[in-house]
Chains A and B, each alone.
Chain A
């Protein structure tokens, strides 16, 4: 956590797939720097041997049997699509 305040905003924005403007980058770097500075207080906390909490009330084996019971007609599924053709979503050519 030592590099706080030095968030690589370009890299993180790329990971998050958000095109940030230069102003946003400067502003966020600044603000996130101070938030991370605040968060740094966690470092002083001794968590040796403490289990991580992923769920407030952990349960196990929450499942359903393999019976079809859910559907969405294609009209419903594509109702909000920005662009569609032949009942499929159109995206710019994906370069693999």
Chain B
């Protein structure tokens, strides 16, 4: 049984741990074993510390043996995207800039995970500073899609998605600024959830674009994603953008919302564009499923959708250009050596040239330009106003429907290298996910089928602070299908 442990759900494992049928150490060893077996091919991690994981697992077993109150995730290995601060662990953001950085403090969501008893497991690869859609923009290595090692896992949380898909972690944390959880989830055939902006504290999340970033769970099932979301959600005094909203008990709401006939909207702008038809088929079947279930399926309009990519790339890069200014070669980052700086400006210029990868530089340059003297009103302010219109589109749509159904991505995972030289086409592939970040609403991707053997994701966009509804809608579909038990052959 042990060799199968790594693919069991957190819910089931929790029961096994509780019943004493499995120990946290056994489970953690199983994950470590699986990781060692496949990691060379998948490359989901930047680093992991077996000894540390085992001692966390031992502590969990001791808690349980001593009858001390144990958290919901006690003993469950959770992989952490390398963008979250964990005390005394590396925090690299997959960047040369932070290659030797050890965090002296814990992110709030990490503190919460520790309180829930989770075994923090490794540092997961990503696009550098979460900028990218393929995890190819990593200073360490590209991660492979476990379903086809020649394909990208998506990004930026590609390591988090691949690790869950490959059984290298039971659950993982990712971060989503424009689709960075949902798109890799769809590419890797797992569930990924971006919570409502403000639901999960950003304290300790290395910022890409502060007004868009959210930390969220990745899992192999909707229920597991809910379990992890439960553990990390809640108001935090250390994040001024954290929302004082009550966090519902997601597992209870699954019960209470069971059998509800949802009103589901199909944003016509998302469906009228030329889509990879093969990728659309599973999405259409999912829509049909809900229709047959008795849900009301309704076309809605989000008229400003066509501006979303433009708005996103201005706001995200402008905020990033400021957020990433702190990585400067002075206090804790990579500092250029082997040259004779005449002043600190030289240190900045050279350290940033060496420390940042190409995509990060490109976005910093774009964002700097958009904020520079004479361009602010035309770019940044205009984008902020357009963002208001995009938000209002969703507000209107939600007057008519409970949630929206869309594809997560225009196409399934593409081959490595396919889009590296064409940033614009890479950016345009975020078209279905970025609006949720601009509007701040929650979004989730769950597997709904395959196209040429590669997973396809269905995106559910929910009402703000109503993650439970989105989860319940997803679970009905998941329960009626067997995608959560489908694993890539590795």
| Direct contact between A and B judged by beta carbons closer than 8 A | yes
Binding site for B on A (CB under 8 A): 1, 7, 9, 11-13, 15-21, 24, 28, 31-32, 34-36, 38-39, 41-43, 45, 47, 50-57, 59, 62, 64, 72, 76-77, 79-83, 89, 91-95
A56 engages B440 (CB within 8 Å): yes
Complex Cα gap A51–B389 (Å): 9
Complex Cα gap A59–B243 (Å): 8
Across the interface, name the chain A residue whose C-beta is closest to B358: A24
Q: Which residues of B contact A52 (CB under 8 A)?
A: 381, 384-385, 387-388
B349 at the binding interface (Cβ < 8 Å): yes
Q: Which residues of B contact A72 (CB under 8 A)?
A: 104-105
Q: Interface-forming stretch among B74-82, B141-149, B265-273, B309-317?
A: B309-317
Q: Interface-forming stretch among B24-32, B223-231, B363-371?
A: B363-371
B385 engages A91 (CB within 8 Å): no
A17 engages B310 (CB within 8 Å): no
The contact sample of 21 A-B pairs, CB cut-off 8 A, is A18-B353, A19-B352, A24-B358, A32-B366, A32-B369, A35-B427, A36-B366, A42-B307, A42-B311, A43-B382, A50-B385, A51-B385, A51-B388, A52-B385, A53-B384, A55-B241, A56-B197, A57-B243, A62-B240, A80-B101, A89-B330
Q: Which residues of A contact B383 (CB under 8 A)?
A: 42
A24 engages B352 (CB within 8 Å): no
Q: Which residues of A contact B294 (CB under 8 A)?
A: none
Q: Which residues of B contact A50 (CB under 8 A)?
A: 385-386, 388-389
Q: Which residues of B contact A32 (CB under 8 A)?
A: 362, 365-366, 369
B335 engages A83 (CB within 8 Å): yes
Q: Which residues of A contact B197 (CB under 8 A)?
A: 56-57
Binding site for A on B (CB under 8 A): 100-102, 104-105, 196-198, 211, 237, 240-241, 243-244, 304, 306-307, 309-311, 313-314, 321, 325, 328-335, 341-350, 352-353, 356, 358, 361-362, 364-366, 368-369, 372, 375, 378-379, 381-389, 391, 423-424, 427, 438-440, 464
B104 engages A79 (CB within 8 Å): yes
Complex Cα gap A20–B313 (Å): 21
5 tightest A-B CB contacts, nearest first: A56-B440, A80-B332, A52-B384, A76-B104, A82-B335
A95 engages B343 (CB within 8 Å): yes
Q: How far is the CB of B445 from chain A (nearest CB, A)?
A: 20
B335 engages A39 (CB within 8 Å): no
Q: Which residues of A contact B196 (CB under 8 A)?
A: 57
Complex Cα gap A16–B363 (Å): 11
Complex Cα gap A94–B241 (Å): 36
Complex Cα gap A11–B365 (Å): 10
- With contacts A18-B364, A31-B362, A83-B335 taken as known, whether A39 is within 8 angstroms of B353 at the C-beta atoms is no
Q: Which residues of B contact A39 (CB under 8 A)?
A: 310, 313-314, 379
Q: Which residues of B contact A38 (CB under 8 A)?
A: 309-310, 424
A56 engages B366 (CB within 8 Å): no
- With contacts A16-B365, A51-B388, A59-B243 taken as known, whether A82 is within 8 angstroms of B349 at the C-beta atoms is no
Complex Cα gap A61–B346 (Å): 40
Q: How far is the CB of A27 from chain B (nearest CB, A)?
A: 8
